[in-house]
Homo-oligomer: A and B are copies of this chain.
Amino acid sequence: MRISELAERTGVPLATIKFYLREGLLPAGVATAATRAEYGEEHVRRLGVIRALTEAAGLSLQQARTVLALVDSPGDDLFDTLGRAIAALPPAVEPADDYPRARAVIERLGQVYDPRFAAVAQLERALEAAEAAGIPLEGERLEVYGAHVRAIAEFDIAQIPADPAAAIEYAVLGTAVHEPVLAALRRLAHQDVASRALP
C-alpha cells in the first residue's frame, strides 16, 4: 500500500509516519519509484507497537527506540534481553544498594531475589509507599496478591512466542499494555464487589 493508505488504515497522521521513518522507528518501505514506496502488513503492525509503547505505556521516543532496537536485534541470551527490554519501561527508579522490603517479599514468595532486575527497585518504592499509607504488603494480603499475580504471570509466559524477536515484543508489550488493563479491571471489580457487600 502507499504511505497515504498506511495512514488511513492505521489512523496515524501522515506527518507522524514520516517522522517515525526519519527517526528510524519505522523501517522504510520498498521503493517502487524515485518518490514512491510500498508498505505492507509489517508496517501496520509496527505502527500499532509504536503507539502502544508511546501512548499506552507512556515511553518517550528515546525509550521506545531502545525497546525496538532490542526487538530488532534480540542477541543470544533471550532471558537477558527480556530483562533489558522490561527495564526500559517506566517507572524509572533510582538504583540503591539494597532493597530490604522487596527482598523480604520476594523471598517470602519463594522467588529468587536479584537486585539487578529493575522491577526489584520498583517493588521497593511501591512497598515503601504502601507502608507510609498504613497498608503494608504483609500477612494474608501478601499471600493473596502473590498467588493471584503468579497465576496471571504463568498464563502470560505460557503464551510467549518461540521466535526470540516476537518473544521480546510480546513480553514488553504485554507488560506495558496489560498493566493498565489489570488496574482498571481491579477498580471495576472493587466497585462490583462493594456494590454487593456494602449496606
A residues in contact (CB < 8 Å) with B: 45, 48-49, 51-52, 55-57, 78-79, 82-83, 86, 91, 102, 105-106, 109, 111-112, 114, 117-120, 122-123, 125-127, 129-130, 132-135, 137, 140-141, 144-146, 148-160, 170-171, 173-195, 197-199
Is B182 in contact with A182, judged by CB distance below 8 angstroms? yes
Secondary structure dominating the interface of A? helix
Is A153 in contact with B45, judged by CB distance below 8 angstroms? no
Provide the bound-state CA to CA distance between A149 and B180, in Å.
Answer: 12
Is A187 in contact with B175, judged by CB distance below 8 angstroms? yes
Provide the bound-state CA to CA distance between A122 and B83, in Å.
Answer: 28
CB distance from A106 to the nearest CB of B (A): 6
Within 8 Å CB of A130, what residues of B? 52, 56, 177-178, 181
Q: In the complex, which of the residues B151, B180, B192 contacts A125, with contact meaning CB atoms closer than 8 Å?
A: B180
Within 8 Å CB of A126, what residues of B? 56, 177, 180-181, 183-184
Within 8 Å CB of A134, what residues of B? 45, 48-49, 173
Within 8 Å CB of A111, what residues of B? 188-189, 192
Is A171 in contact with B190, judged by CB distance below 8 angstroms? yes
Provide the bound-state CA to CA distance between A5 and B106, in Å.
Answer: 34
Q: In the complex, which of the residues B55, B117, B132, B179 contacts A191, with contact meaning CB atoms closer than 8 Å?
A: B117
Q: In the complex, which of the residues B45, B55, B133 contacts A49, with contact meaning CB atoms closer than 8 Å?
A: B133
Provide the bound-state CA to CA distance between A136 and B53, in Å.
Answer: 15
The 6 residue pairs across chains A and B that have the minimum distance between CB atoms: A56-B129, A153-B189, A52-B133, A119-B187, A123-B184, A126-B180
Is A186 in contact with B82, judged by CB distance below 8 angstroms? no
